[in-house]
Homo-oligomer: A and B are copies of this chain.
Amino acid sequence: MLNIQTCPHSTETRCDDCRLAGICLPIGLQLEDIGKLDQIIQRGRPVQKKEYIYHAGDKFKSVYAVRSGAVKTIKITEDGIEQITGFYLPGEIIGIDGLATNSHINSAITLETSAICEIPFSRLEELSTRIPHLQRRFFQIMSKEIASEQQLITLLGKNSAEERIAALLLSISSRNQSRGLSAKDFYLPMSRSDIANFLGLTIETVSRIFTRFHKSGLITLDKKHIVLNHADALRSFPQPLA
């Protein structure tokens, strides 16, 4: 018999059984409270690459946890230009942008096949008034989002192209590490053009700098497969993104 847990996109994993529980929404909750949270979470079928999880303008109903795969959030400016506002890896929460205006200001798109946990916000909000730890945890997630955006603002305002790319690599590295994966050897889920867009650069510049890092031995690079040979040297460039 097939053990359904072996599929990373399984729709059946409960929160208390999810290997991401230690970095996702349930941190700090009692087992009993995790159970309550678990009951309001909706687990859909796996989402294919390049599908939308929500569109800008959609009514804000839910926030979403990435369970597997990877997601980018994008904002379309008035003049029709796309700006990527974040990359999200398993255990991270998306969709909070809709809270202020009650409709999403970003769109979220999967970068690869992903599993997504949908958490209806009205029920989360209601549950939060009864579980103070959950309210605190949700405040924390939003605050962390603010902190990581401020880091990006600093990067875009002050740092060179090399520093921006080093920061992105280190950010993905440390987030992989906190998910129990390798900090030095990983695959980039996003394209060069996504990286360029996110970091305020052109695709040519991104490509040139990857080549430069590779030739200098700082990293080993084969398409999207990255090995960080000298993470310390990368770190001496910029402040890592959160």
Contacts and interface: CB of A to CB of B under 8 A. Distances in A.
B75 A143 contact: no
A83 B158 contact: yes
Interface stretch (A7-15, A29-37, A92-100): A92-100
A154 B75 contact: yes
A165 to B, nearest CB: 14
A125 B153 contact: no
Interface residues of A, number: 46
A147 B104 CA distance: 10
Contacts of A75: 150, 154
A98 B121 CA distance: 24
Contacts of A100: 140-141, 143-144, 146-147
Nearest to A96: B143
Interface stretch (A44-52, A128-136, A183-191, A220-228): A128-136
A123 B157 CA distance: 36
A157 B168 CA distance: 15
Interface of A: 75, 77-79, 81, 83, 85, 96-101, 105-106, 125-126, 128-130, 132, 135-136, 138-147, 149-150, 152-154, 156-158, 197-200, 239
8 contacts: A75-B154, A99-B143, A100-B147, A105-B147, A105-B150, A129-B129, A149-B149, A149-B153
Given A105-B150, A157-B199, 14 more contacts: A77-B239, A85-B150, A97-B146, A97-B147, A98-B143, A99-B142, A100-B144, A100-B146, A100-B147, A125-B132, A128-B129, A135-B135, A153-B156, A156-B200
Q: Which 3 A-B pairs have the closest CB atoms?
A: A157-B200, A99-B143, A156-B156
